[in-house]
Structure 1
Amino acid sequence: MKRLLWCAVLLLILPLGACTQKEPALGKGKVQVVTTIFPLYDFARVVGGDRVEVVLLLPPGVEPHSFEPTPEDMVRISRAGLFVYTNPYMEPWVAGLLKGIDRQRLTVVDASAGVSYLPAAGEDNGHDVNEGGHHHGGMDPHVWLSIPNARKMVENIAAALGTKDPTNAAFYRQNAAVYEQKLTELDRKFQVGLGNCRTRRFLHGGHYAFGYLADHYGLQYVSAYAISADAEPRPRKLVEMIALMRSSGTRYIFYEELISPRVAETIARETGATLLRLNGVHNLSRDELQGGATYLSLMEQNLVNLRTGLQCR
């Protein structure tokens, strides 16, 4: 964080043009939006349409839990009209960063305003711990994996765009309303698709990312380690998960995007289970981004894999 504050001082001292020579030309008349993680980027693109230009702060393939912005990122944010972040638990660096940026023209949006939070689960998936990586302050930051929360985040982005660009406020509201209907339909697909399954428990060889999804659909969720993607599972936890899989006859173990699947692979070798991917939708690989993946398409694939893993009919 000291590095960030030092860079902020430089931004205040140096002429802005000297810092931004390599920045691409911006579309005239469009609201410039910078977002932190992929869901916000996707929501802003859909709501803003051709009236906005949206930049994803995370480079493709970067896991966001340990991310901190570079000086170039700070310049990019300072030049935007709108900066959208997930919440203070997901991006605790935002508060420090904003101290070094001129807020007169920049509108800052906490996309999670008004969402329903769940407590952060620890190693045993039942209590809060803060080990390694970012401090989450006792709340689970993965709010976008609850579709009702995602709807609220879309509303927040649409409202912020309307305030920033009142001329097009109705356009943003209409786009948000159409997209919220798609989210409602996706929610219905999950409710129906997960309604008749052999088991309601799924095991994940990664960090505790899917608590909101499990809570909303009445599923039991066990992860190998806690909220921080930088944490490491303790041997006792792996032994417990292997024993649980054997005793329950669970045939699948999930892993997640952008994080090594070695823990899930270890459990799979010990139990004969099959690996399935469950996407936390934090960020995309370069190929996925270029291929047009969206929040909706990734969540649809999650439903397919959950139905397989839970042996749904």
Structure 2
Amino acid sequence: MTHDSIHQENVTCSFRRALAALCLALIALLAACGGTDGPRTTPPADGRLRVVTTLFPLYDFARSIAGERAQVSMLLPPGMEPHSFEPRPDDMLRINSAGLFVYTNPVMEPWAARIIQGVDPNRVRVINAGQGAGYRTVTPDGDADGHEHGHQHAGALDPHIWLDLDNAQLMVDNILSGFTAADPVNAAYYRGNASALKSRLADLDRRYRGGLASCERREFLHGGHYAFGYLARRYNLAYRSLSGVSSESEPSAARMAAMVRHIRESGAQYLFAEELLSPRLTETLAAEAGVRVLRLHGGHNLALDDFRAGVTFISLMDRNLVNLQKGLACRPK
């Protein structure tokens, strides 16, 4: 590809993003001009609360809370990597026809701020599922600095909060608050479902603590972006990734060479690859370092086949546990 063609492609992408932003603004203006005299939301034909979520963990938590009494959908198309997602005009229409919109946090979905500005608060309740979570900061190249901050801080915050299962349970509570406020008639039903979900998350946490307690290795190496810092901290593991927090960040040749050296010096037998991203780079590093590749799932989104099969966040995390135990040479309890 020539320099001119690359430049033309970049200009085209910029134009498309600008056009999409303009369309979103126009739709937001139309939605805001709709007045507040109408019903709170346009319900499905069966009268259930309609809920729109952004990423898969929120979708899975929300559908567990909803049971049969609310309709939950996910904004992110199955199979799409979320860090590069940009909402389309019809996404704005979906949100404005819902009773509840749930997003992860302003760091994970910076575009959510634009959407929220165009949402009529008299029709749609907006829930920041990460409200009150403990956030970690990372350096631009994906190394943790060891500090924690409240959600109001911005910059190098790690947005992957659902991989700390205390944060995951907090997110369930935040989502539940939206359900009970938007549909108080079914509040007791939603509370019961949320309590059952939190119990399953607590059981998952116990499986992780037991399953990772007796491992020969305490560091896992990852050939993708910095997504598993919360998980590593929770279970007292060291973690090193090839790239920074954004999956779109490109590792330098020096960073790649340093990763290969570290793999060799550490004595690791496995390098972990990431779901929804091409494993080509990870496989190249693994071949250079003489190790094998295992998959880890960050939970951001599902492949289409998994989505259609009804795979859950907890089942994804159980898959991760199996591969972590193999990669870290963990002894059974």
Alignment of 1:94 onto 2:115: no
Cα distance in 2 for partners of 1:286, 1:190 equals 27
Do 1:47 and 1:172's aligned partners in 2 also have CA atoms closer than 8 Å?
A: yes
**TM-score, normalised on structure 1?**
0.91
Unaligned runs of 5+ in 1: 17-24, 129-135
Cα distance in 2 for partners of 1:103, 1:146 equals 30
Q: How many residues are treated as equivalent by the alignment?
A: 300
Which residue number corresponds to residue 4 of structure 1? 21
Cα distance in 2 for partners of 1:149, 1:10 equals 34
SS in 2 for 1:282: coil
Deviation for aligned residue 1:4: 2.4
Deviation for aligned residue 1:5: 4.3
Alignment of 1:112 onto 2:127: no
RMSD: 2.0
Which residue number corresponds to residue 133 of structure 1? none
Alignment of 1:36 onto 2:22: no
Matches for 1:47-86 after TM superposition, within 5 Å? 47-86=65-104
Do 1:61 and 1:286's aligned partners in 2 also have CA atoms closer than 8 Å?
A: yes
Distance 1:196 1:242, change over 3 A: same
Alignment of 1:151 onto 2:164: no
Which residue number corresponds to residue 170 of structure 1? 188
Match of 1:201 among 186, 209, 219: 219
**TM-score, normalised on structure 2?**
0.86
User: 1:139 corresponds to which letter in structure 2?
Assistant: L
Which residue number corresponds to residue 237 of structure 2? 219
User: 2:26 corresponds to which letter in structure 1?
Assistant: V
Which residue number corresponds to residue 140 of structure 2? 122
Distance 1:9 1:213, change over 3 A: same
Deviation for aligned residue 1:260: 1.2
Cα distance in 2 for partners of 1:213, 1:39 equals 15
Cα distance in 2 for partners of 1:189, 1:113 equals 26
Which residue number corresponds to residue 259 of structure 2? 241
Deviation for aligned residue 1:13: 4.0
Do 2:27 and 2:89's aligned partners in 1 also have CA atoms closer than 8 Å?
A: no
Cα distance in 1 for partners of 2:199, 2:144 equals 34
Deviation for aligned residue 1:71: 0.3
SS in 1 for 2:101: strand
Deviations 1:227-268 (A, max 9, x none): 010011111111111111111210000011111112211111
Do 1:30 and 1:53's aligned partners in 2 also have CA atoms closer than 8 Å?
A: yes
Do 1:8 and 1:101's aligned partners in 2 also have CA atoms closer than 8 Å?
A: no
Deviation for aligned residue 1:100: 2.2
Matches for 1:175-186 after TM superposition, within 5 Å? 175-186=193-204
SS in 1 for 2:316: helix
SS in 1 for 2:188: helix
SS in 1 for 2:166: helix
Do 1:4 and 1:97's aligned partners in 2 also have CA atoms closer than 8 Å?
A: no
Task: Indicate the percent of aligned positions where both proteins have the same amino acid.
Answer: 49
Do 1:9 and 1:100's aligned partners in 2 also have CA atoms closer than 8 Å?
A: no
Which residue number corresponds to residue 312 of structure 1? 330
Do 1:159 and 1:173's aligned partners in 2 also have CA atoms closer than 8 Å?
A: no
